[in-house]
Amino acid sequence: MTTWNLQQTRCHLLICNGGSCMKRGGEEVTQAIRDEITKLGADKLIHTTRTRCNGRCADACVVIAYPEGVWYKDINPETGRQLVRRHVEGQQLEEQILYSFDRQFIASDRAVEGIAKG
């Protein structure tokens, strides 16, 4: 079993690979993000994890960036590459933000409120 050294990690991207995201290019998004990280030599700075459903199927493909707690929506391979470039620069992909713990920001009318937990 692999144990990654995360001491230099600045960003952890959780890439949704749930059913709705996979139907809308989740595999291609995952590969584009990972390829861009490698291309930029940012493997030590950005760690990725495939997840199952994150509960935002209407916003597929979804990528979550920590430690910021930023949820991105409508990610395709090209915006996935842009997202990596922005995070390497210490920025965010503002156009795709669905929600941020810092500012509870809804980026577009297409985002649905969702169902309450509990």
Break the chain into its structural domains and give their ranges: 11-100
pLDDT in the model for residue 62: 97
pLDDT over 90 (residue 102): no
Confidence of residue 101 (pLDDT cuts 50, 70, 90): confident
pLDDT in the model for residue 69: 92
pLDDT over 80 (residue 108): no
Place of tokens 């760690």: 47
pLDDT over 60 (residue 83): yes
* CATH tag for 11-100 (out of 3.40.30.10, 1.10.4010.10, 3.40.50.720, 3.90.226.10): 3.40.30.10
Model confidence pLDDT, tens digit, residues 39-57: 999 999 999 999 999 999 9
For residues 65 and 67, give the distance between their C-alpha atoms in angstroms, rounded to a whole number: 6
Q: How far is CA 82 from CA 4, 60, 87, 113, in A?
A: 25, 17, 9, 26
What's the whole-model pTM score? 0.86
Contact 45, 8 (CB under 8 A): yes
Contact 94, 100 (CB under 8 A): no
State mean pLDDT over 54-71. 94
